[in-house]
Amino acid sequence: MRILQAANFVAPHSGGIRTMMGHLADGYAAAGHEVVAVVPGERNATRATSYGRIIEIAAPTIPSTGGYRMITKWRTVEDLLAIIAPDRVEVSDRLTLARIGQWAARRKVPSAVFSHERLDALLQFHLGRALPTKQIADRWNRRLAESFDTVVCTTQWAAEEFVRLGVDNLAHVPLGIDLETFHPRRRDLRLRAELARGADVLIVTAVRLSPEKRPDLLVPMVDELVRRGANVRMVVCGDGSVRDMVAEQAEGKPVTMAGFVNDRAHLAAVLASADVVVAPGPYETFGLAALEAMASGTPVVASARGALPELVIGGSGRTAPSDPVAMAEALLEVVADGPAARGAARRRAQDFSWSDTVEGMLAVHGLETRAPRRLSLEATRS
């Protein structure tokens, strides 16, 4: 079978969606399928991969997104779909590529769309009370669900905005972690000493520096820790539209701006060498970076809102309100937990493998006999 993957907001410096697409494509190829990925790029280009092809469609950058691009020419997409002639389609986009669902329905091609964000929460964050954000999100989500055979949610929190609408074509497929790359054996005491610069506690965050990820909380959290007498240093791994703001906050503070870390092995070593990893974003529908830290044996302090409270359990870290004081308190509690938290973090991360994700998505596509887990109102309340 030929499986089409399509996504906007995928770039060489991007994180979760790009990582997911790559692991799924490798898994599909191992199961005997061909994969064609369609993503935005600076210019039209096609390159061969071990699993099939990646086709880039020339697309404009979107302001204030840190360089992300979005495909805007539907005719180009439609012409390309006719050439690719997919047997299955898998979309990671709610915007311009959501029309692929209707294209597939007209041709009786089974389709699935990932819900990678909570639209209601993001609209409320960006628009506040200026518009009826819940009603806008509900209309958009209902139309999205009607356009595809299956809406795939990676957590219960991601599914809630569809469940309240009575959407019955939901499937729960958690993402996975590369448990070999992100492993406690990557911990490097020499690297830790280099990053910590004499600090007793090394804090790392690996996050896109965009407003909805709440990087504005990071430096105030460090300020609170210093006020309490903690000898800490935080390393910020990431880039994005508010990088300059965070860098200005960090000036003269025990904070290192490391930029985006493209080398996955080096990122794994940084995460494993940290004492605590902070995931401040309150709108995460999965939290891949947090689970990569946990797989590395490093406990996490995460936002108490979003999907991460479903994942950061069993002594693997703490969740806290999106408040610098509360986050600082949670971080000190994690440090006090000692080595036990590191073991708990690794054990929790081992519940998530890419092989399970691939198996779940093959089932969604009707290419395996095991049925995907269907989400219901009762499931989200359990």
Query: Tens digits of per-residue pLDDT, 246-268?
Result: 999 999 999 999 999 999 999 99
Cα separations (Å) of 343 from 21, 125, 308, 339?
29, 35, 18, 7
Higher confidence at residue 51 or residue 6?
6
Domains along the chain with CATH numbers: 2-176+353-376 (3.40.50.2000), 184-349 (3.40.50.2000)
* Alpha-carbon span 26 to 19, nearest angstrom: 11
Q: Is the dihedral of CA 203, 204, 209, 211 positive or negative?
A: negative
Task: Please report which confidence band the pLDDT of residue 13 belongs to, taking 50, 70 and 90 as the band edges.
Answer: low
Burial 109-124 (b: 16+ CB within 10 A, else e): bbbbbbbbebbbbebb
Mean pLDDT of the residues in the chain: 93
Determine the Cα angle at 350 with ends 349 and 352, to 5°.
Answer: 75
* Alpha-carbon span 134 to 14, nearest angstrom: 28
* Alpha-carbon span 32 to 228, nearest angstrom: 57
pLDDT at 10: 86
pLDDT at 346: 98
Task: Please report which confidence band the pLDDT of residue 67 belongs to, taking 50, 70 and 90 as the band edges.
Answer: confident
pLDDT at 381: 39
As a whole-number percent, the residues of the chain with pLDDT over 70 amount to 95
Burial 170-192 (b: 16+ CB within 10 A, else e): bbbbbbbbbbeebbeebbeeebb
**Helix, strand, or coil here: 44?**
coil
**Helix, strand, or coil here: 193?**
helix
Going by DSSP bridges, is the β-strand pair 52-58/45-48 parallel, antiparallel, or unpaired? antiparallel
Record the tokens describing residue 175, joined without a space: 């993402």
